[in-house]
Structure 1
Amino acid sequence: MTYDLRIAGGEVVTPDGRRTADVVVKDGVIAGVIEPGAAADAMRTVDATGKLVLPGMVDVHVHTREPGFEHKEDILTTTRQAAVGGVTTIFGMPNLNPPTVDTETLDDVFERYARSSLVDWNHNPAPTKLDQVPLMADMGIRAYKIYMVVDTGRTYPHPAGTGEHDHGRLLAMMDEIAKTGLRFIIHPHDQALMDYIEGEYLERGENTPQGYASAYAARNGVIWDTAVDVVIRLAEASGCKIHIAHLQTARSIEAVRRAKARGIDVTGEVNHWAPFLSQWNDVETLGPYALSYWVPDEGRDAVWEGMRDGTIDMCSSDHAPHTREEKEIGWTQMWSSHTGTPGIQYYYPLLLDAVNRGQLTLERVVELVAGAPARSFGLEGVKGSIEVGADADLVIADPNAEWTITNDGVLSKIGWTPYDGRAMTADIVRTFVRGQEVFADGAVVGEPGHGKKATPRVQEGTKS
């Protein structure tokens, strides 16, 4: 057999561990992990000596902003950043205009991905129309998404149609989703408590980045902790598989740990800003450009520990770009600023840098960005691992690359990153999606429309 591609001489991280090996690819699929130099003809050989060969990141929490907010970002620019950042599969979010809540809007979004995406994709619609839940499942989605929040002083990034904080309605959604066997992604938030806490800060005139950061972390993160407790209990009552976004407090992470021990099917994620952009100094110096959220030291310590011990299952970027104009207002009117930070281009490199700094093992990073998300969202054996039969979604990384993140290197429409000036010790040098190179030698080389919908090889509930 003549293979299409051979990646030779790299240190390969597989489900069985890591070793120096060659990866061979045929028809977009991994055909073997063989001994270096073993006889095998290939149309193309890429030398990975001295480099890491890793599975591409499966990022289940990405805001592409298309349709409706293309002045911030679109699918093409999002997936160009994904290619550079070693992300080979993205799941988009429903807070669009119109919001993705039914088969019509979902079909439109799928068509947009098919035209524009460089990497593989899926999409997480909101289950706010209960009769649409099974119909959207039949269209091949892997999850649903809801926000337990209503924005104060703005209509975005949590627009009408994508939110629900009534517990009865949440339980009804879980009952319907449970029938599909899919996972329910939930942005936890206790709206009633937040209304009260925000009111205190706004009444005192603390409409600043510091005030906003303090309000969302107030009373040891009570708005997060109570919401996570409710979500876990409703999941237990409904049998719905849940995924909790934005884990950031010690108590919430411990609640997930206990729920797992009780056999509740709950997974959780940490986004780039929690380990890397959440110190008080970030709030003071970057203001609205760092928010997302502030995570006090106790919470950040718990995040790192949860990433290491497996309580936190995965890393998802929560890529959330906003323009400078939408951020600048936050210096004096933070509750009117659009919160969220871009992250898809740099999350994998930041985690590899953390490996070099002794904060995580390489194997744990691979599990966080690839193995766990693929397995949790029904893509095991297709995405997220270097094994025979899986898609050849591969990343070559240089573990000894010294470079600095700068705004000049940002591929997002917004043209800025909160990591501007950060020194790095590792980087992505090549990215392949189903054996096709989409990033190489510092340039995006993938073509719009190369990306395909990420689905299981055999649909759940059927026999192979």
Structure 2
Amino acid sequence: MSIDLRVSGGRVQLPGGAVDGDLLVNEGKVVGVVSGSVEVADVGRTVDATGKLVLPGMVDVHVHTREPGFTHKEDIHTTSLQAAAGGVTTIFGMPNLNPPTTTAKTLREVFDLYAEKSIVDWNHNPAATQPDEIAPMAAMGVNAYKIYMVVDTGRTYPHPAGTGMHGHGDLLRMMDTIAKTGKRFIIHPHDQSLMDYIEGEYLARGENTPQGYASAYAARNGVIWDTAIEVVLRLAEASGCKVHLAHIQTRRSVEAVRRAREHGVDVTCEVNHWLPFLSTWDDVEKLGPYALSYWVPDDGREAVWEGLRDGTIDMFSSDHAPHTREEKEIGWTQMWSSHTGTPGIQYFYPLALDAVNKGLLTLDRAVELVAGAPAAKFGLQGVKGALTPGCDADFVIADLDAPWTITNEGVLSKIGWTPYDGRQLTAGIEQTYVRGTEVFADGKVTGEAGHGKQAVSGKVQNA
């Protein structure tokens, strides 16, 4: 047998659990896992992973690259730098761009940018706001669509015009349209009418602060999330559309997902980096706009951890959402004018492995959350997310006994900051490979722009 790469001496994570053995890779694909005593006659390169874990690379289906239109914050290349360093081997971009990705034409333009600039593999979730564009975009190999049930108050970003949908009839019509393609429909749930009322109360009292904003979005036990999710799930049942819920963060939402599945609804859901690691009231007090995203009260966070462990919540997705310091600083006194969202793609996988060390998740469950489930639910089963024969050789070499500290100086994003500055972790990513090619090692990104290819059902293809 002739192979390109042998990763020797490590503990390889397979779908049934971790095994001691050597990972064999040829022509960018996993060939298998063999005992270290098995001789292979022709090996192009051997990498020593003794004492380390060999894990599937993360498949991150919720990433804001900011390109085109907002490249002062981030771009595709810098996003992929962080992905490579953080063990993320496939990214799915989001459509809140300028112009927003709503047509086959704008999708082709974005695909061309990925093909030129990305180090890691990629796909893109266009906005499902124009029914006539759904089928043409499906034919281009997208695996999901996205809409926001939200309108920004006091700002025009990060939820720009052209990416939102609020009427129940419009949502049902779009679900009927997407159901015909077999693709998944990602929805940012939000009851805008309730939020208008709740926000108005806070702003009328002059509570335009991080604490006021955090409280408003979590008000009345998360009513703006729960009501929107109940509507989405009922419409999904009525249409047969596969739906995916972003930003799960309340107990009722977790329970609603369980009930919907009992009724046969094909619903998946995600938790983003900020919920398990950055959503306490203490975070809001100390970091203010730099922690928002959202505040999650203790009951919601407890329910989410339960859902992560028992499988109700399918996956981790970063919701990588970079903004400049200037766009954040205004939030100390005018939070509704601050751009919300937090960067996270570079550190989510290490944070998840740190959670394994702390006993919050098993290793099997953590890997399923970051790799197995997103690949399977977003059309990439047998292609990504597992180190089984025939899959792309997307993997990381990780050390669960490698204490280190996250710092702003190590940030590869254009914005130059992370809300995790000073956070001490117990585990780290040492190397990252995309289709058998090293893209990160020894603390440096070694992959080249343009290495990334479009990840589609059944294969990776040139855009």
Q: For 1:253, give the aligned amino acid.
A: V
Cα separation, 2, equivalents of 1:3 and 1:202: 63
Residue 261 of structure 1 and its aligned partner are, at CA, apart by: 2.1
Aligned residue for 2:31?
A: 31
- State the alpha-carbon separation in 1 of the partners of residues 64 and 12 from structure 2: 30
C-alpha separation between the residues in 2 aligned to 1:126 and 1:172?
14
- After TM superposition, the structure 1 = structure 2 runs for residues 257-272 of structure 1, keeping only pairs within 5 Å, are 257-272=258-273
Q: Does structure 1 conserve the Cα–Cα contact (< 8 Å) formed by 2:379 and 2:457?
A: yes
Over residues 12-68 of structure 1, what are the superposed CA-to-partner deviations in whole Å (9 max), with x where a residue is unaligned? Answer: 110122111100100000011111231113110001011000000000000000000
Q: Tell me the residue number matched to 1:287.
A: 288
Deviations 1:374-405 (A, max 9, x none): 00011001000010000000100011000000
Amino acid at match of 2:258: R
Structure 2: distance between partners of 1:435 and 1:19: 20
- After the TM superposition, which of the residue ranges 427-436 and 16-25 deviates more from structure 2? 16-25
The residue identity in structure 2 corresponding to 1:210 is Q
Q: Contact between 2:12 and 2:19, CA under 8 Å: does it hold in 1?
A: yes
Query: Does structure 1 conserve the Cα–Cα contact (< 8 Å) formed by 2:27 and 2:436?
Result: yes
Counterpart of 1:329 in structure 2 is: 330
Alignment identity in percent? Answer: 74
Q: Residues of 1 paired with 2:352 and 2:439: CA distance?
A: 21
Report how far residue 148 of structure 1 moved.
Answer: 0.2
Aligned residues: 459
Q: For 1:410 and 1:364, how far apart are their aligned partners in 2?
A: 27
AA aligned to 2:447 is G
SS at match of 1:454: strand
RMSD: 0.8
Match of 1:462 in 2: none
Which amino acid in structure 2 is aligned with residue 182 of structure 1? K
What is the TM-score normalised by the length of structure 2? 0.98
Please give the residue correspondences for 1:141-152 in structure 2 after superposition, counting only pairs within 5 Å. Answer: 141-152=142-153
Q: TM-score, normalised by structure 1?
A: 0.98
**SS at 1:302's partner residue?**
helix
The one-letter code of the counterpart of 2:70 is: F
- Cα distance in 2 for partners of 1:435, 1:306 equals 33
The 4+ residue runs of structure 1 with deviation greater than 2 A are none
Per-residue CA deviations over 1:48-91 (Å, capped at 9, x if unaligned) read: 01100000000000000000000000000000000000000000
Once the two structures are TM-superposed, the CA of residue 457 in structure 1 deviates from its matched residue by 2.0
Measure how far apart 1:263 and its partner are.
1.7
Shift of 1:209: 0.1
- Alpha-carbon separation, structure 2, partners of 1:256 and 1:5: 42
- Name whichever of 41-50 and 89-98 sits farther off: 41-50
SS in structure 2 of the partner of residue 447 of structure 1: coil
| Cα displacement (A) at 1:429 | 0.2
Stretches of structure 1 lacking an aligned partner (at least 5 in a row) = 460-464
Listed as ranges, the matches of 1:64-463 within 5 Å are 64-457=65-458
- 2:17 is aligned to 17
Which shows bigger deviation, 403-412 or 449-458?
449-458
Q: What is the SS of the residue equivalent to 1:23? A: strand
The residue number in structure 2 matching 1:54 is 55
Counterpart AA for 2:91: I
Tell me which amino acid in the other structure corresponds to 2:169: G
**How many Å apart are 1:153 and its aligned residue?**
0.4
Give the 3-state SS of the residue equivalent to 2:420 in structure 1. coil
Counterpart residue type for residue 26 of structure 1: N
Letter in 2 for 1:241: K
- Aligned-partner SS, 1:180: coil
Q: For residue 174 of structure 1, what is the amino acid of its counterpart?
A: M
Deviation at residue 292 of structure 1 after TM alignment: 0.1
- Letter of the aligned partner of 2:12 in structure 1? V
- Residue type of the alignment partner of 1:265: D
Alignment-mate amino acid for residue 222 of structure 1: V
Q: CA offset at residue 127 of structure 1?
A: 1.1
Distance in 2 (alpha carbons) for counterparts of 1:146 and 1:102? 14
Cα distance per residue 1:83-124 (max 9 Å; x no partner): 000000000000000000001100000000000000000000
The one-letter amino acid of 2:195's match is M
Residues 396-417 of structure 1, C-alpha deviation per residue, up to 9 Å, x if partnerless?
A: 0011000000000000000000
Question: How far, CA to CA, are the matches of 2:298 and 2:213 in structure 1?
Answer: 17
AA in 2 matched with 1:160: A
CA contact (8 A) 2:383 2:459 kept: no
C-alpha displacement of 1:316: 0.1
Partners of 1:182 and 1:103 lie apart in 2 by: 16
Distance 1:179 1:2 in 2: 44
* SS state at 1:44 partner: strand
Question: Residue type of the partner of 1:340?
Answer: G
Residue 257 of structure 1: how far off its partner (Å): 1.1
SS in 1 for 2:13: strand
Distance in 2, Cα, partners of 1:330 & 1:146: 25
Alpha-carbon displacement from aligned partner over 1:315-351 (angstroms, at most 9, x marks no partner):
0000000000000000000000000000000000000
CA contact (8 A) 2:143 2:457 kept: no
Between the aligned partners of 1:20 and 1:190, the Cα distance in structure 2 is 49
Aligned with 1:269: secondary structure?
strand
Distance of 1:146 and 1:457 partners within structure 2: 25
Cα distance change on mapping 1:109 and 1:458 into 2, 3 Å: closer
Write the deviation string for residues 166-204 of structure 1: whole angstroms up to 9, x where unpaired: 111111110100000000000000000000000000000
1:458 is displaced (CA, Å) by 6.6
